[in-house]
Amino acid sequence: MANGARDRDGPEHRPADEAALSARLRRLGNRLGSIRPGQPAEPPSGAGPTADPSAIARGFRLSTELVAGVIVGAMFGWLLDRWLGISPWGLIVFLLLGFAAGVLNVMRVAGVAPGPGAAGNGVNKN
Amino acid sequence: MADPIHQFKINKIATIANIGGHEIAFTNSSLYMLIAAGVITALMVGATASRSLVPGRLQSVAELSYEFVADTLKSSAGTEGMKFFPLVFTLFMFILTVNMIGLIPGTFTVTSHIIVTAALALLVFLTVIGYGVYRNGFRFLKLFVPSGIPVYILPLIVFIEVLSFLSRPISHSVRLFANMLAGHITLKVFAGFVTMLGGLGFVGWLGAVLPLGLTVSLTALEMLVAFLQAYVFTILTCIYLNDAIHPGH
pLDDT at B139: 83
Which 121-150 residues of chain B touch chain A by CB within 8 A? Answer: 142-149
Closest of B153, B244, B76 to residue A121, by C-alpha: B153
Residue length of chain A: 126
Mean pLDDT, rounded, of chain A: 71
pLDDT at A123: 37
Largest CA distance in chain B: 75
Write the residue in B165, B174, B248 that is nearest to A64 by C-beta. B174
CB contact under 8 A, A120 and B157: yes
The whole-number average pLDDT for the span A102-106 is 90
CB contact under 8 A, A65 and B171: yes
Query: What is the value of ipTM here, to two decimals?
Result: 0.74
Which chain A residue has its CA at the smallest distance from B170's CA? A68
CB contact under 8 A, A72 and B160: no
Count chain A–chain B contacts defined by CB atoms under 8 A.
128
Closest of B83, B64, B65, B82 to residue B73, by C-alpha: B82
pLDDT at B120: 94
pLDDT tens digits along A33-73: 666 554 444 444 444 444 445 677 778 888 888 889 999 99
The pLDDT of residue A1 is above 50 = no
Task: Using a cut of 0.80, tell me whether the model's pTM lies above it.
Answer: no
pLDDT at A49: 46
pLDDT at B34: 93
Determine contact: A51 vs chain B, CB below 8 A.
Answer: yes
pLDDT at B207: 84
pLDDT at A125: 36
Name chain B contacts of A65, Cβ cutoff 8 Å: 167, 171
Name chain A contacts of B236, Cβ cutoff 8 Å: 61
The pLDDT of residue A5 is above 90 = no
Name residues whose C-beta falls within 8 Å of residue B198's C-beta, 6 or more positions apart in sequence.
B204, B205, B208
Name chain A contacts of B235, Cβ cutoff 8 Å: 52, 57
Neighbouring CB atoms inside 10 A of B25's CB total 16
Query: CA dist B32 to B23, B95, B101, B137, B187, Å?
Result: 19, 12, 8, 40, 20
Burial of B98 (C-beta count, 10 Å sphere; 0-12/13-18/19+): buried
Which pLDDT tens digits describe chain B residue by residue (249 residues)?
567 788 888 888 888 888 888 888 888 899 999 999 999 999 888 888 877 777 788 888 888 999 999 998 988 888 888 889 999 999 999 999 999 999 988 888 999 999 999 999 999 999 999 998 898 888 888 888 887 788 888 888 888 888 889 999 999 899 999 999 999 999 989 988 888 888 888 888 888 888 899 999 999 999 988 999 999 999 899 989 988 888 765
Determine contact: A74 vs chain B, CB below 8 A.
Answer: no
CB contact under 8 A, B75 and A43: yes
